[in-house]
Chains A and B, each alone.
Chain A
Amino acid sequence: MIMLKGMFARPENGRMYWREFMHQCSEIGIGSLGIVAIISVFIGAVSTIQTAYQLVSPLIPLLTIAQIVRDTVILEFAPTLVCIVLAGVAGSRIASELGNMRVSEQIDALEIMGINSRAYLILPKIVAALIMIPLLVVIAMVLGIWGGRLAGTMAGIIPANIYDKGLIEFFVPYNVYFALTKSYVFAFIISSIPAYYGYHVRGGALEIGRASTKAVVVSCVLILFADYILSALLL
C-alpha cells in the first residue's frame, strides 16, 4: 500500500511518463500476444474435442458443444488461464527488470536525479497492464472460440454452420462483462505484485531470480483466489 501511495505524485515531465507508458504497453501487450494467441487457439481446440468426447448421448444436439466451448472460454479459460500465463510472462519480466535496476543502482540513480522512481517505473506498468491485459483477454476469447471451431470442423466433430449457430444461441452478454471484470482485477495483480517484489530486491542475481519466482507464484495464487471470490460474488 505504501508503494502504491508513493506512485501518485506530480510527474516531473509528462512526456517522459507517456513515453514509458507506451513502451510498457508494447512490452506487455505486443510482447505477450504470441503466447496468448497460441494458448487460446489450442485451449479452444482441446475444449471442443473433449466436450464432444464427453457428450455421447444422441439426444444432446451438436450445437451444445459450441455453447459449452463458448462459455468455458469466455468465463474461465480466456481470463483466468491467460492471466496465469501472463503472470509468468509479463510478471516475471516486470520483477526481474525492476530487480535488476535495483541491484545495479539504476533506481538509486533515478532518485538522485530527483525522479520519483515508483511513479516513473511502476505506475506506467500498472496502467499499461490495466489497458493491455483486458485487450489480450478479449483477443484470447475470440481466438479460443475460433480454435474450437477449427478443431471441430477439421476433426469432423461439428460442422461450421452448426458451431456458429450454437455460438449465437443462449449467449449471455453478462459473461463477457464478468470476464472483463476479472481481467481488470488480474491485470492489477499481475503488474503490482511483481513490481513490489522487483522494486524491493536486496542482494544480487540470485535474489533477482528468487524475487521473480516468488512474484509469479504469489500472483498465480492471488489470481486463483480472486477468481473464486469474484465468481462467488458476481455469478
Chain B
Amino acid sequence: MIEVKKIQKSFNGKTIIEDVNAVMKAGQCNLIIGASGSGKTVLMKCMVGLFQPEAGEVLYDGVSFTQMNDEQQTEIRKEIGMLFQGSALFDSLNVEENILFPLNMFSSDSVARKKERVNEVLERVNLPGVNKKYPSELRGGMKKRVALARAIVLNPKYLFCDEPNSGLDPQTSLVIDKLIRDITVEYNMTTVINTHDMNSVMEIGHYILYMYQGHKEWEGSNQEIIFSKNQRLNDFIFASDFLKDAKDMRMLEQRGKIDPERNMDDLLK
C-alpha cells in the first residue's frame, strides 16, 4: 500500500501540486488522471523519489519514503518497477540484455537462472522469442511490453506506469491495460498508473484519483465515476458527445429504464 499525505511541490515559485492525499492499495490498479499540466506526472515523480516534495510525505507500507536517506530510498527502489511513457529501454542493449540489466545488478542467481527468468517474464508479457532484437527493431506496443517485463523481472511490490498507452492504437492499448491489470492481481502489486486514456479508466480503474490544477478534485472507482456529479470530472471524462451518450445509456440502464440484457442485434434490425 502507498499513502500520499499532503504532498506539495513547486518549480520556480509556481506551485504544481498542493495538498494531495491518496491511499493506493495493493492488488489493484490505482489511476491518476487529469488534463495535461494538472500535476499527475509531478505527483508520480514525487512518489518514486525523482522529485523531492516540499511538504507532505509518501509512505510505502507505512514507512515514510520522503524521510529516508539516499541509501534507504535505494533499498525501497529495488522494490519498485516503473514503466516509462517512452519505454526508456537502453538503446545499446538488446531485449534480453535490457531485462537482464536489473537482474545482473541486484541478483546473485546463476546466469542460467537469470536467462530463465528473462524468458519467463517475456512469456508473461506475450513476447517470447524477441530476446536478441534491439529496441529500435520493436514496435511501440512491443517496446512497452519489454519495458513492462523489465519492470517486473525483480518481482517488485510496487509498479508505476507513466502513460502506458500513449502513442498506441486502441487494440494494443487494451492488451497493455489487460496485461497490467492481470500482473497487478497475480503478483499482488500496488500499481499506480498515470493516464489520459478513458478506456483504461473504465477497464482497470479500481481506484481513480482525478487531479485538477494541482489538487485532488475527485477520487473513487470506475463504477462510481459514471454517477459522479463532479462537473469538472464529467467535463474531463465525458468530453465527447459519444461518451456523454454512453454515460447516459449506462445511467438509464442502472435506473431500469433500459433493459441491460437487451439484444442489440434486434434493436439494430
Interface residues of A (CB under 8 A from B): 12-13, 15-16, 100, 104-106, 108-109, 111-116
Contacts and interface: CB of A to CB of B under 8 A. Distances in A.
A115 B80 contact: no
30 contacts: A13-B104, A13-B105, A15-B104, A16-B104, A16-B105, A100-B91, A104-B86, A104-B88, A105-B84, A105-B85, A105-B86, A108-B50, A108-B84, A108-B88, A109-B82, A109-B84, A109-B90, A111-B49, A112-B77, A112-B81, A112-B82, A112-B160, A113-B77, A113-B78, A113-B102, A113-B105, A114-B75, A114-B77, A114-B106, A115-B105
Contacts of A105: 84-86, 88
A12 B88 contact: no
A80 to B, nearest CB: 31
Interface residues of B, number: 23
Contact of A112 (B48, B90, B106): B48
B126 interface: no
A210 B40 CA distance: 29
B67 interface: no
A104 to B, nearest CB: 5
Nearest to A104: B86
B15 interface: no
A104 B86 CA distance: 7
A109 B101 CA distance: 11
B254 interface: no
Contacts of B106: 12-13, 113-114
B223 interface: no
Nearest to A23: B92
Contacts of B102: 113
Interface string B100-133: 0110111000000000000000000000000000
A108 B106 CA distance: 17
B74 interface: yes
B111 to A, nearest CB: 12
A113 B75 CA distance: 9
A213 to B, nearest CB: 21
A12 B105 CA distance: 7
Q: Which 6 A-B pairs have the closest CB atoms?
A: A114-B77, A105-B88, A109-B88, A114-B74, A112-B82, A105-B84
A179 to B, nearest CB: 33
Q: Which of B77, B82, B104, B105 has the most CB of A within 10 A?
A: B105
Contact of B80 (A104, A112, A116): A112
B136 to A, nearest CB: 12
B77 A106 contact: no
B88 A114 contact: no
Given A13-B106, A16-B104, A111 B88 contact: no
Contacts of A106: 88-91
A112 B84 CA distance: 10
Contacts of B50: 108, 111-112
Interface string B58-82: 0000000000000000110110111
A120 to B, nearest CB: 9
Nearest to B150: A109
Nearest to A12: B105
A100 B90 CA distance: 10
Contacts of A116: 74
Q: Most B CB atoms within 10 A — which of A16, A111, A114?
A: A114
Question: In this complex, which of A13, A15, A112, A116 has the most chain B Cβ atoms within 10 angstroms of its Cβ?
Answer: A112
A21 to B, nearest CB: 15
B63 to A, nearest CB: 16
Given A13-B105, A15-B104, A112-B81, 18 more contacts: A12-B106, A13-B104, A100-B91, A104-B86, A104-B91, A105-B85, A106-B88, A106-B89, A106-B90, A106-B91, A109-B82, A112-B50, A112-B77, A112-B82, A112-B160, A113-B78, A113-B102, A113-B106
Nearest to B75: A114
Contacts of A16: 104-105
